[in-house]
Amino acid sequence: MTEITIYVVRHGETLLNSFDRMQGWVDSDLTAKGRQQALTTGKQLANIPFDYVCSSDLNRAIDTRDLILSQLAHQPKIIAPNATFREVFFGYYEGLNAPAAWQEVSQATGYAGQEELISHFGFPKTRQLMHDADPAHQAETYNQVIARWQHGFDVIHEVCPDKATVLLITHGTFIRTLADHHGINILGNFPLNGSVSIVKETDDSIKLMSYNQTTDIK
């Protein structure tokens, strides 16, 4: 049975992150803080013998990948950046102020903001509420995001041999959706920039072993 260990890293802080704007498929550069976060994560992972590294095709993930690679003792093979691992698409709300966008999404429900929606309705319904509120109805639903995750794991499974250790650089809401799907309490628990979550993939299952780690990563 094939078993693959995947270290899933959120990219470093970006300019739009620092302005608290919705950043899905819209991209922006890493800030100085974000570059340092990536280097710090690289030092945390420096002695793990990764066989492969993969990232989203968005520049903030690729730049984070390269900064992490600069700190590793062993250089893994690079898998081409893949759109499967992009952040969740926020449709009409891309680039807008995040609190204001979520206030608009939540106003018809009587609740205020994303965390209240998650607390009362759960994450799948919260993502559906954004999709429904989006004038273009293009904001990704929970099930669409999970389907992308599954496709991404299939990509890794096809490329990597048994017992491979893989470094994957991707995005916050994308990782948070995976965590929720695996039963993690995500309320007020968003992946930090540069944080690491660990997944074990076999022929039969996907297991989230840890989530949102910033220290003592093994």
Shared domain for 41 and 118, answered yes or no, is: no
What range defines the domain where residue 154 resides?
A: 3-89+145-213
Q: Which residue among 75, 106, 139 closes a domain?
A: 139
Total domain count for the chain?
2
- Find out whether 82 and 52 touch, Cβ atoms under 8 Å: no
Q: Dihedrals φ, ψ of 206, to 5°?
A: -125, 125
Instruction: Indicate which CATH number applies to the domain containing 193.
Output: 3.40.50.1240
pTM: 0.97
At residue 216, the pLDDT reads: 81
Q: Answer yes or no: is 11 a known binding residue.
A: yes
Give tens-digit pLDDT for 8-18: 999 999 999 99
* Amino acid identity, position 216: D
- Is there a catalytic annotation at residue 11? yes
Shared domain for 76 and 122, answered yes or no, is: no
Q: Answer yes or no: is 15 a known binding residue.
A: yes
Q: What is the residue-averaged pLDDT of the chain? A: 97
The structure tokens listed for 207 are 């297991």
Q: Answer yes or no: is 14 a known binding residue.
A: yes
The structure tokens listed for 25 are 């498929």
Shared domain for 128 and 159, answered yes or no, is: no
Q: Answer yes or no: is 17 a known binding residue.
A: yes
Q: Answer yes or no: is 96 a known binding residue.
A: no
Of 3, 11, 116, 182, which is the active-site residue?
Answer: 11
Of 87, 94, 140, 201, which is the active-site residue?
Answer: 87
Shared domain for 167 and 83, answered yes or no, is: yes
The confidence band for 215, taking pLDDT boundaries of 50, 70 and 90, is: confident
The confidence band for 75, taking pLDDT boundaries of 50, 70 and 90, is: very high
- Is there a catalytic annotation at residue 87? yes
User: What's the start-to-end Cα distance of the chain, in Å?
Assistant: 23
Helices assigned H by DSSP within 134-190: 142-159, 172-181
Shared domain for 80 and 183, answered yes or no, is: yes
CA distance 211 to 185: 10
Q: What does the pLDDT average to over 91-100?
A: 98
Give tens-digit pLDDT for 104-138: 999 989 999 999 999 999 999 999 999 999 999 99
Q: Answer yes or no: is 13 a known binding residue.
A: yes
User: Could you give the C-alpha distances from 29 to 25, 68, 70, 132, in angstroms and in order?
Assistant: 13, 16, 18, 30
Q: What does the pLDDT average to over 177-202?
A: 97
- Find out whether 67 and 60 touch, Cβ atoms under 8 Å: no
The structure tokens listed for 151 are 């496709």
CA distance 82 to 198: 19
195: helix, strand or coil: coil
The structure tokens listed for 93 are 């709300």
C-alpha of 107 from chain center:
27
At residue 37, the pLDDT reads: 98
Query: What angle in degrees, to the nearest 10, is found between the helix axes of 123-133 and 172-181?
Result: 130
Q: What does the pLDDT average to over 168-181?
A: 98
At residue 217, the pLDDT reads: 82
Shared domain for 194 and 114, answered yes or no, is: no
Shared domain for 73 and 162, answered yes or no, is: yes
